[in-house]
Amino acid sequence: MAGHYQSANSSDPDFVPGRKRVTPWVKFGVPLAIVAIIGAVLGGVLGTQIHKSSTTVHGSSTSKSLSPQASSSVVAAASSSLLSIKEFDRLPSSTDSYGLPVYPTATNPALYTTPQFVQENAPAAWPQETFRPSAPSVTNVRPDRPRLIAPAPKWAALPSLIPLDAYLKGWNDTIFSNAAGVLNVSPKAFYLDGGSGALDIAREVKERIKNLAYAYRMSNNSVYAERVWVELQNAAGNGTTAFGTSGDNWNTAHFLDTAEFTAAFAIGYDWLYDYWSPTRRTQIMWSILNLGLKFGVQAYTDTSVSFGWWRTVNGNWNCVCNSGLAMGALAVLNDDPTGTASQILNLVVDNAKGNCAQGPSSDGTWSETANYWYFGTTGHAEMASSLITATGSAYGLLDVNPNFNLTGLYHMYVTGMTSLFNYGDHGPNKFSTTANSMMFYGSQYNAPAYTLFQRDRIDAGEPHGLFWYDPTASGAWWDNLSLDHYFENSTDQWASMRTSWTDNTGLYVAIKAGTNSGHQTHNDLDGGDFVLDAMGQRWAGELGSGDYLSTGYFVGDAADSQRWLYYRKRTEGQNTIVVNQQNQVLTAFPTVNFSSSGTTQGSSTVEIIPSDSTAFFAADLTATYGGTSVRRGLRLINGRKQVLLQDDISNSATSVQWRMHTNASVVINTAGTTATLTLASKVVQVQLLNAPSGINFTTAQPVRYPSDPPLPPNQVDQPNPGVTVLVINVPAGTNSIQVLFNPQWSGMSANSFVTPKSVPVDSWSLTSHN
């Protein structure tokens, strides 16, 4: 049976957002931006429909057959001023409650083509870069300002490009409205939140300075530049209230803060260089030198200081710290009378190549977590981009790791249909951190799909994204993109499977095995962990970070680390098997089989799934459980409408527990064989198949076992309000626990669900369940 199936949209009036925490990004990250993006995106797609209906698209004349839905949108939009916008590629029609783009349903393949950068057809394109030294050097900077990320020729081109490209137009509006928002609020006050130091402050200051400096340059309205000055004065400790510790105002103890403040000041100095009086310029420079770069040199050269430990870390710390120092140094180079800037530049590049650039595993997976990918790649992209614009080269930062380009693919596959496959720690608030590195990498790696993917995202509207965006990108990023991908590196060993790239009300499952160490202490003990999205809801989800201030939370990832005492990090806090109420083994290397029918999405946003389309992931987690034989398999069945999760457990000497965390309300039938999960008026039936009597569903609270070793003194677990643990208690012995997830898709009749046959996990193949 093949067919397109849909669930009701998550914009249903009965949608209950109460379960959804407002993410910090939304809460603190200038809600104005969201309104502006939605407006721009809505206008954009309507404009496209009109335009494309009467034009030649990539050489083929198209007679448009608009879907009824699209046609009525066009009528409704007849008065939109955005209809005058010229050519641009497909835009989402709106943003869903999770902030993901909603694409119109359209079947005309001529509208969606292979992702490409097409200079000839593009209405808008950046001017060619003219600063191209034949022998680039980190200390040989371009003669003109700005140097960092956005050189003068791009600024000069913007006023004429913006009207030609709906994305640029939307982002310009967003940035202006965010800059205007800052005019009404006080300079960012300093505080330490402990776990993340002053990092939120630093990133918010950086975000403000970027938006304000942009607004000044694009309007000549000095009110924006003067507001940058107020913010800089304040964060330099020269405002009307104290800011941090005098002399160490940027909190070197948590060096990320120092680096992000340095980056913020670098942008403020460089982008507004021509605005500042020589006196102010000098003042900003001394702050960069005395509060940032001076400590950067110490981090590298003074073994008596403890704040330079990130120099050997293959992760976001190394990217953010080196990037901030590089940006600060590039900004003041040649103005700096101390030689500090050139000293820094000769230190950071090689270090970042050896560490930051090694953040992704060989398969592109960011080896920390999916959320830390944002911090790492933002730092990496800002550093590489600043070096390129300021000096003409990235000195190998982009290709020293030959697989760095795959990290864009990682980000796409780890993005689910509600949120990320957000295993491990989630990190601090993002503010100036976005996924816009995707657009930089799109250009640098000639991967237009990365650019096209990100330009549709809610966090794209900020200056770096705008300047990294290549407006010659066209086509559909999902065209010919495989629905499944297995990331095979032993560090994470995870798979992503879905029904569609463009319909977020379909099915998404992601599952991992991997090693329980080697993630910069941001992981959980989570071999076998999975998430499941269906019908616009997350049914099996993650608990996220513990309290970063908890005793021993970051003490390391050794087996006896206190980190592993906290529920959210323990194996029992994951969606996996727990043997004898114990944590998983830290040193195990599980093995995984993965196979996929290779189904790709076509160019259309309407995905027709063949009935034999499937994918499966089968992990031997025996080593992870210290010898108790556990084989966990997860597969899509019935044309990807149902999910089977099977655990074959042999010869277990002790009790085993199957656990899954959900925000849904859970009702279990009297036989204990079916759990009905309800979330926002959607339902998933979870069936326990072929279970011997006495094995059944039950529920538990998302809290530690009474038998767990105690938490460190005076420590508590984070509460997990609204979360229920669906549990199956499995007695010692040999058992196959087969759990079938049946999302109640709208329009799918009860007899269209299938009951798969029972096949041992290690005999699974693509056809084993036909």
Ligand X SMILES: *[C@@H]1O[C@H](CO)[C@@H](O)[C@H](O)[C@H]1NC(C)=O
By CB under 6 A, is residue 155 in contact with ligand X?
no
Contacts of 438 (CB under 8 A, 6+ apart): 408, 411, 450, 451, 453, 454
Residues 436-475: x where in contact with ligand X by CB under 6 A, - otherwise, as a string: ---------x-x----------------------------
By CB under 6 A, is residue 477 in contact with ligand X?
no
d(CA 288, CA 332): 8
Contacts of 338 (CB under 8 A, 6+ apart): 289
Minimum Å gap between C-beta 308 and ligand X is 23
| Contact residue for ligand X among 159, 719, 733, 747 (CB under 6 A) | 159
508 closest CA partner among 518, 496, 520, 525:
496
Nearer to ligand X, 444 or 562 (CB): 444
Here the tokens at position 756 are: 């798969």
Enclosing H/E stretch for 258:
helix 255-271
Q: Which of residues 577-616 bind ligand X (CB under 6 A)?
A: 593
Position closest to ligand X via CB: 541
By CB under 6 A, is residue 176 in contact with ligand X?
yes
Residues 213-252: x where in contact with ligand X by CB under 6 A, - otherwise, as a string: -----xxx-----------xx--x-x--------------
Contacts of 391 (CB under 8 A, 6+ apart): 133, 136, 137, 138, 139, 140, 141, 142, 330
Q: Which of residues 65-104 bind ligand X (CB under 6 A)?
A: none
Residue with tokens 């803060």: 257
By CB under 6 A, is residue 129 in contact with ligand X?
no
Minimum Å gap between C-beta 23 and ligand X is 8
By CB under 6 A, is residue 278 in contact with ligand X?
no
d(CA 327, CA 406): 25
Q: Kind of pairing, strands 591-596 and 615-620?
A: antiparallel
d(CA 412, CA 421): 11
By CB under 6 A, is residue 132 in contact with ligand X?
no
Q: If binding means CB under 6 A, how many residues of this protein chain bind ligand X? A: 52
Nearer to ligand X, 89 or 620 (CB): 620
By CB under 6 A, is residue 762 in contact with ligand X?
yes
Residue with tokens 């205007």: 180
Stretch of 87-95, 400-408, 546-554, 707-715 contacting ligand X, by CB under 6 A: 400-408
Which residue type is seen at 2? A
Nearer to ligand X, 283 or 298 (CB): 283
Contacts of 89 (CB under 8 A, 6+ apart): 48, 452, 473, 474, 475, 476
Alpha helices in 618-768 (DSSP H): none
Residues 522-541: x where in contact with ligand X by CB under 6 A, - otherwise, as a string: ----------------x--x
514 closest CA partner among 366, 304, 331:
366
SS3 391: helix
Stretch of 19-27, 58-66, 197-205, 744-752 contacting ligand X, by CB under 6 A: 19-27
- Tell me the sheet residues that pair with 737: 647
> In angstroms, how far is the first alpha carbon of the chain from the final one?
12
By CB under 6 A, is residue 427 in contact with ligand X?
no
Here the tokens at position 371 are: 């959320």
By CB under 6 A, is residue 723 in contact with ligand X?
yes
| Contact residue for ligand X among 67, 362, 678, 690 (CB under 6 A) | 362
Q: Which of residues 313-352 bind ligand X (CB under 6 A)?
A: none
Contacts of 607 (CB under 8 A, 6+ apart): 4, 499, 500, 501, 502, 503, 506, 601
By CB under 6 A, is residue 162 in contact with ligand X?
yes
By CB under 6 A, is residue 409 in contact with ligand X?
yes
By CB under 6 A, is residue 761 in contact with ligand X?
yes
Stretch of 59-67, 188-196, 399-407, 561-569 contacting ligand X, by CB under 6 A: 399-407
Rg, Å, the chain Cα set: 26
Nearer to ligand X, 320 or 409 (CB): 409
d(CA 88, CA 358): 36
Q: What is the contact surface with ligand X in residues (CB under 6 A)?
A: 19-21, 114, 159, 162-163, 172-173, 176, 218-220, 232-233, 236, 238, 283-284, 286-287, 361-362, 402, 405-406, 409, 445, 447, 480, 489-491, 538, 541-542, 593, 618-620, 631, 661-663, 671-672, 694, 696, 723, 729, 761-762
